[in-house]
Amino acid sequence: MLTSPSMKITFCCTDTKPDLWLSGLQAALPQAEVSLWQPGTPPADHAVVWAPPQQFFDEQTQLKGVFNIGAGVDALLKLRLPPGALVVRLDDAGMSVQMAEYVCHAVIRYFREFEGYALDAKNGKWAYRKSPQRDDFSVGVMGLGVLGERVAKSLRAFEFPVNGWSRSAKTIEGVQSFCGEAQFNEFLSKSQVLVNLLPLTPDTQDLLNRTTLSQLKPGAFVINVARGAHLVEDDLLALLNEGHLAGATLDVFRVEPLPPEHPFWRHPKITVTPHTSARTLRETSIAQIVGKILALEQGAPIAGIVDAVRGY
C-alpha cells in the first residue's frame, strides 16, 4: 500500500468544477479519503487548492502540503497559511508548451504584420509588407523560470535574438542573460518586444510602468501573460496613444474578467485574451500532484516548493 489508509485529501478550488478533479484524485489515490471542502470538513493531510477563502486555512490547520493548481501563488500567499504546510506550485504540467505557442504566435503576428494582412484581405488588397530585420528584432523575456525558459528557447527556434531577465544569472543556449536591478535598464533598452513571465511579488508589482516601458525601443510591443498587477494600465495606454509603443497582447488584467467598459477591449493596438495563455490541464496536474503527495508521504524530495519569503 502506497499511502496510509487514513490519509485525507481535501479539494477547495474557486471557479473550478470539482467533480472530475475529485474522481481523478480518488482514482489515483484509492486508499485516501478525497473530499470537497466545505466549512466544518475534518482536518486533512493535504489540500488541492485554487483561490481558497481564508476560512479554509483557518480550519485546515494540520495540512502538510498545499497543492496549488496553477503556477502563480500570489493570491495564495496573501492568506494566513498553516505554519507547517509546504506550498507547492504546478511545475509546468503541460503549461510551458501552451505558453510558448501563445507568445510565439503573438511575436510572429507582430513581426510578420499578419494583422495588417488580415485587414488588407478584408479590403481585397494584394500588397506586400516589409518585415523588420530579424537581427534587429530582439525579444526580451522577463522571468526565466519554468515558463520563461521554455518561451525563450521556443523564440530562439525562430532565430529571433532573445534576451532574458531574472533574479539570478542563467545559462540558456542562445539567450543572453541579464539579472537583477543593475542590468534591468540595459535589458529593457535592447527589447523590441517585451514578454512578461515574472511571478507577482512585492518586487514585481507595477514593474511595467511609464518609466520602464519608455526604455523599450521605439515602436516596441508588450506581451503580458503573467499577472495584471505587473502592468500600470494607464501608463500602457498613454505610451500606445503617444506612439512610443506599437501594440500589446494582454492575457491578464488587474480585474478579471476584464470589465465590459474597460478601454483595453476597444483599443485598436491591444489584443485581449481571457487569461488563457496556459491553462491548467486537469489530468496532467492530478498526476503531478499525486506523485508529489506520495513522495512527500515517503519523505522524498519534490520540485515546485514555494519560498514564501521570496514570493514564488
* Candidate residues 10, 35, 191, 277; the one interacting with ligand NDP per rule CB under 6 A: 277
State how far the Cα of 312 lies from the Cα of 233, in Å rounded to an integer: 23
Q: Which of 105, 156, 254, 275 is flagged as catalytic?
A: 275
Tell me whether residue 244 is one of the annotated catalytic residues.
no
Q: How far is the CB of 197 from ligand NDP (least distance, A)?
A: 5
What one-letter code names the amino acid at 214? S
249 touches, from ligand NDP, ligand OXD, none (C-beta below 5 to 8 Å by class) = none
Angle at 181 between CA 311 and CA 171, to 5 degrees: 80
145: contact with ligand OXD by CB under 6 A: no
Q: What whole-number distance in Å separates Cα of residue 312 and Cα of residue 305?
A: 9
Query: 3-class DSSP state for residue 35?
Result: strand
From the number of C-beta atoms within 10 Å of its C-beta (0-12, 13-18, 19+), residue 68 rates as: buried
- The residue at minimum Cβ distance from ligand OXD is 70
Spot the catalytic one: 109, 150, 227, 230: 227
Residue ranges in 43-82 that form contacts with ligand NDP under rule CB under 6 A: 70-72
In the residue annotation, 227 being an active-site residue is answered as: yes
Cβ 72 to ligand OXD, closest distance in Å? 3
Question: What is the three-state SS of 76-112?
Answer: HHHCCCCCCCEEECCCCCCHHHHHHHHHHHHHHHHHC
Contact with ligand OXD (CB under 6 A): which of 72, 140, 143, 304? 72
Q: How many residues can be counted in the chain?
A: 312
The residues binding ligand NDP (CB under 6 A) are 70-72, 95, 143-148, 165-168, 197-201, 203-204, 225-227, 251-252, 275, 277-278, 312
The residues binding ligand OXD (CB under 6 A) are 70-72, 280
